[in-house]
Chain A
C-alpha cells in the first residue's frame, strides 16, 4: 500500500510493521510525517517546533 507525501508528492510505501502515530521522514523532501491510518494508508505532516527563521 502506498501514499503520497503531502508536502512534495513523493510516493511512500507502507512498511509491514508500521503503526498509527509512527513518525517517518520523507526520503525526498525530508519532512517528518505521521502515520494517521494504516488502512487506508494516510500520512500527514507531523507538527514541527517553530524556529525563528524570519529573524
Chain B
C-alpha cells in the first residue's frame, strides 16, 4: 500500500458518514479524496456535520463524479451497493460496505430475513463479516469487508465467548436491545417528529428484526441455533444496550464465566469486561461509550436457575458502524488495527 491511502466515502452526509469523516481526518495514513452526497452535492462538509467545521475543506460530490481511489467506504442505503456492483468494482480495489447487502453468506438465510432473493447471490460469502474480534485474520489483506449491523454487533460480542465455548443451550437465547434514535438515520418522518419521539419507549421490532440473521450466522457457525430477539427504541440519541438471556448447559459459577470471557477478550483492544460490585456504572451502559469504538460486556449468573444474563453496550454509530469499519480498513491496508480510534469517551455526559 502507498504511504498515504486515498479514501473516498460514498453516502457521507448521513450520521455514519459523518463519523467516518471525523475518524479518517485524524488518521495519519489517510487522505480523504472525496465524499459523496446527492442531496448535499456542492455543500461543504461542515454545513451537514457541524462538528467538523474548520476540520476539513471538503465538499460533497455527487456519486457519479467520484474518482478512482485506493479504498472506498460505502454508506449507501441498503440495496444500493449490490445494485451498483460494477461501479463499485471500478472505483476502488478495497471496499468496506456498511450496508446490509453482503453481511450474510447464505442466500437462503438472506431471503428468509429480507423477504426477497439477493440480487447477486454469487457474491454472498465474498465479503468478510466486519467484526474484527471474530474475523481479524480474514481481514488482513482482504479486499472486501461488510460491516455488521449495530444491534447484531452488540449482541454477537456479548454472546460470542459463550457460544464459542459451547456452554449455552443453543435454542433458548432471548435478547432485548434498547436503542437510540440515531439508528434510524438522519431522514425525518412522522415517527421521528419530536412530540412523537421524545420520551418514547417504543417496541418497534418485537420479532423479525433483520439483524437476527447475522446473529444466527455468526454465533451458530454452522450449528442450528435460535435467537429470540426484540428491539425497543428509547429516548437516547446514540447507543445500544443488549440484554441477553442464555441458559447454561452445565453448572458454571461466576468465576468460570469470568474465565471464559477473559480468555476470549483479555487481549482485545476494544472490548472491556465490565462487572463491578459497587459504583454507578457496575454493568455496561452506552451513555459513557458515546463517540468511542468500545464494546463493554458484563454478566450476572442467576443464583436460582441456570440463566445467565449478559449485558453489552456500544455506540451504534461507532462500534456499531463507522468505528467498526475503521479497524477493518486498517487491517485491510496493513495499518495498526487501533489507528485513529483511541478516544475513551466522556464523563460526565
**Chain A residues at the B interface, C-beta cutoff of 8 Å:** 7-10, 28-32, 48, 51
Task: Name which of B45-53, B55-63, B119-127, B273-281 contacts chain A.
Answer: B273-281
Q: What are the residues of chain B within 8 A of A8 when measuring CB–CB? A: 254-255, 258, 275
Contact present for A9 and B259 (CB under 8 Å): yes
Task: Tell whether, in the assembled complex, residue B262 and residue A30 are in contact, meaning their CB atoms are under 8 Å apart.
Answer: no
Q: List 16 A-B contacts (CB under 8 A).
A: A8-B254, A8-B255, A8-B258, A8-B275, A9-B255, A9-B258, A10-B258, A28-B258, A28-B273, A29-B258, A29-B276, A30-B276, A30-B279, A31-B277, A48-B277, A48-B278
B contact set with A: CB distance below 8 Å: 254-255, 258-259, 262, 273, 275-279
Contact B277 A30 (CB under 8 A): yes
9 smallest CB-CB distances across A and B, nearest first, come from: A30-B276, A9-B255, A8-B258, A31-B277, A9-B258, A29-B275, A9-B259, A48-B278, A29-B276
Interface class of chain A by DSSP: loop
- Main SS at interface, chain B: mixed
B279 contacts across to A, CB distance below 8 A: 30
A7 to B254 Cα, complex, angstroms: 8
Q: A1 to B181, alpha carbons, bound, how many Å? A: 51
A9: chain B residues at CB < 8 Å are 255, 258-259, 262
Give the CA-CA distance A18 to B273 in the complex, in Å: 27
Q: Evaluate contact between B276 and A31: CB separation under 8 angstroms.
A: yes
The smallest C-beta distance from B167 to any residue of chain A, in angstroms, reads: 16
* Least CB distance, A6 to chain B, in whole angstroms: 9
